[in-house]
Amino acid sequence: MARFRFAEDIRVLPGLVAVALFVVMAAAFLGANLPDPAGFPADATLIADIGYSLFDFTEESGVPTEGFLAAFELIDLVLVAALVGAILLAKREDGSIGNPLNWGDDE
């Protein structure tokens, strides 16, 4: 008679969780009512319209879009903060940044 050993059978648990998650995601995907794809009109200039919608110039765009100016500015602030933080972390104690080509060498 085989005994259940928790330490040996625990390797099956991640696989069962993955299969259960796949079943839930497949059921959600197959049960969703998605609208028909709209696409762009044939005479639309895609790159210009993407730029207009990015900066919230919906009057100039030939395609009805949502404005993404607030999201663009938030991403801009986060990236600038990350850049400043990276520079502050790269500074040495004496305030110099140093030469990144010689960082492996002892100075």
Does the model's pTM come out above 0.75?
Answer: no
Per residue in 59-74, pLDDT tens?
777 676 676 778 888 9
Residue-number span of the structural domain to which 76 is assigned: 7-31+45-93
Examine residue 21 and state whether it is found in any structural domain, yes or no.
Answer: yes
2 falls within a domain: no
> Is 23 inside a domain boundary?
yes
User: Count of CB atoms within 10 A of residue 49's CB?
Assistant: 20
Pairwise CA distance, residues 35 & 46, whole Å: 22
For residue 60, tell me if it sits in a domain.
Answer: yes
Write b or e for each residue in 5-43: b if 16 or more Cβ atoms lie within 10 A of its Cβ, otherwise e.
eeeeeeeeeeeeeeeeeeeeeeeeeeeeeeeeeeeeeee
Q: Is residue 89 domain-resident?
A: yes
Please give the Cα distance from 54 to 66 (Å, whole number): 8
pLDDT in tens, 28-58: 999 999 888 777 777 777 788 777 777 777 7
Tokens of 35: 């609208």
